[in-house]
Chains A and B, each alone.
Chain A
Amino acid sequence: MKQTENKKKYIIIGIMLTVCIALAGTFAWYTDSGRHIVESEEVEVMAPYYLYLLNEDDEESLQLSIGNLYPGETKQVIIGVSNKAAGETSVDYLVGRNTEFAYELELAYTQNLPITYTVYELVETTEDQKDFTIQNGLMHVKKNMLLTKSGDSAALTVSNNKEMYDDPATVGDESADIINYVQYDLYDNASGSNDLHLTTTVDAQGTTTYDLDYFLIEMEWQDDIAFDDYRKETDLIYIIVKAIQPRPEESVAAP
């Protein structure tokens, strides 16, 4: 008796569930019209232009370290800025297209030491080493090339500068007598007021030629500044280069 009653209950429950599913499915069928999802094609995102800081032999990444600077002394370092990494013969991100882009050179340095920083653009000279006379400035030998300060020997001008206290490069306490804060000097014009820029060219045979700019950074201890006050001081210097992606311009079809 009890078994029969249980069986009835199970049958009723099963039928009710079936009805509910059928009902729900029916209404779902009437209300569902499918989603119209319009997908785009897969689009490539252009990689930014890359810049590399190289040492004066342009074979290694730049490792900057200047030590033992005394009052009245000037120390120099040559750096290279290129659109190709040291030791690389090609880059993957350029799609065989002639490109030219401008860039900014920036020095960021703490000011614990009384140092003046001056940046010069260097160019190769064809002057024979023996006959070369120093007229426009320093001469540097790099591999088998001579580098000299560019034509008018004028230093690059600082287009923008600022001091900042809150910066990851800042070390120390503002309340101390000698305050560690960072000075940013931005250079974006070569001597002669032309933009700093790098060019990549691809010839008819598909050979790519990359570009390399040289700069001389002079660090001079300012005159009449007592050495004893700064004997154990150290400054941090950052050299930053930033490519400027040129604004894309819509090409106009030829008539």
Chain B
Amino acid sequence: MRKRFRNWDIKIMTYVMFVVTIICVISATVAWFNIKNDAEISTMQVEAASTKLIKVEVLKDGQYEEVKASTDGGDQVHVSFDMPTFSNVTGDSVLAPGVYGTIELYVTPLRKDVVSCDVIRTNIEEWTITYLAADATDEEKEQLKDLLRGHLLFFKTRTGTAGAYTYADVFESDTPVNYALSWDNANDVGVRTKVTIYWCWPYEYADIPDEIRNAISADADADYPRKYFFEPEREASGYDDTRLYDYADTKIGSAIETLQMAFEVIGNVG
């Protein structure tokens, strides 16, 4: 009995040590490959590779502060919804039809092999929205979110002058927009690169950029279905699209109190 036990004990221990050894070897190998692109072994150093690809900073109270990754602890820094001062609105920094502005980030690659970053406008389901009606139904909230998708637009490019801007390269929901990053070889540091996101709330239906307005479709599965721009219950009214768009603006303003949107920034290894 004892002899059997000893044999069993040895077998188990051997097996376990074998597996643990395999794990260590694999871990060290992966870490080694991540540290350097050229497989040059000078010392048998087991050093974990950096898992962070980029550093993201946002402008906050006149200074740039780092946005922590989700795995880090601490308070999150919020990017300002920078907009000019407008007349004909009821306060500074309020969202209303006709206002526009920018969201500015700085992205720095932390590794030489990080060649670009993707900025993704997160799905509106990840936004924080407060509604004026405490008893707003889920259906009403979904309709309002649809209208926000069509009335609050985000772009990579803006040209022209104030009041007559032309927008291009739209940020579609959950679709990455790529920005190139670079590495300063001389100093062996990443180049801090500015990323600007332009946004606007078109004042009238005719102000919607052509690339979007021309793609508005009655097909509910299209990229820009009509429900993003007009209230479905008014479609049968016979009003033209200009007036329907105005009604949808009113619906947003009378139902939503505040909103807080989110973008995701992902580093890309070349």
Contacts and interface: CB of A to CB of B under 8 A. Distances in A.
Interface string A95-127: 101010000000000000000000000000000
B98 to A, nearest CB: 4
A38 interface: yes
Contacts of A249: 86-88, 163
Question: Which of A19, A22, A46, A97 has the most chain B CB atoms closer than 10 A to its own CB?
Answer: A46
Interface stretch (A28-36, A141-149, A151-159, A208-216): A28-36
Nearest to B93: A43
Nearest to B94: A46
Contacts, number: 178
Contact of B90 (A33, A40, A42, A46): A46
B86 A34 contact: no
A247 B203 contact: yes
Given A39-B79, A245-B96, A250-B84, A30 B54 contact: no
A19 B23 contact: yes
Interface stretch (B37-45, B69-77, B135-143, B186-194): B69-77
Task: Give chain A's interface secondary structure class.
Answer: mixed
Given A38-B264, A249-B88, A48 B249 contact: yes
Give the interface size bracket for B toward A. 35 or more
Contacts of B265: 36, 38
B76 A45 contact: no
A94 B96 contact: no
A34 B70 contact: yes
A181 to B, nearest CB: 11
B128 to A, nearest CB: 7
Interface residues of A, number: 48
A223 interface: no
Given A39-B76, A39-B262, A19 B86 contact: no
Interface in B72-112: 72, 76, 78-81, 84-91, 93-99, 103, 105
A223 B4 CA distance: 120
Interface string B238-255: 100000001001101110
B12 interface: yes
Contacts of A31: 51
A246 B122 CA distance: 31
B162 A34 contact: no
Contacts of B266: 35-36
A30 B51 contact: yes
A80 B88 CA distance: 24
A19 B67 CA distance: 35
Given A40-B81, A248-B96, A45 B86 contact: no
Contact of A48 (B162, B253, B262): B253
A226 interface: no
Interface string B116-145: 000000100010100010000000000000
A251 B86 contact: yes
Contacts of B163: 249-250
Contacts of B249: 48, 245
A252 to B, nearest CB: 8
Contacts of A19: 19, 23
A32 B48 CA distance: 13
Given A37-B126, A45-B96, A245-B96, 20 more contacts: A8-B8, A30-B49, A36-B266, A37-B76, A38-B262, A38-B263, A38-B264, A38-B265, A39-B128, A40-B79, A40-B260, A43-B81, A43-B95, A44-B94, A44-B95, A44-B258, A47-B90, A48-B250, A97-B91, A247-B88
Interface of A: 4, 8, 11-12, 15, 19, 22-23, 26-27, 29-48, 93-95, 97, 99, 162, 164, 166-168, 242, 245-251
8 contacts: A30-B31, A37-B262, A39-B79, A41-B78, A44-B94, A47-B132, A164-B238, A248-B86
Interface of B: 4, 8, 12, 15-16, 19, 23, 26-27, 30-31, 34, 48-49, 51-54, 56, 58, 67, 69-72, 76, 78-81, 84-91, 93-99, 103, 105, 122, 126, 128, 132, 162-163, 203, 236-238, 246, 249-250, 252-254, 256-267
A-B pairs, top 7 by smallest CB distance, nearest first, are A34-B69, A34-B71, A248-B86, A46-B96, A248-B98, A246-B88, A33-B51
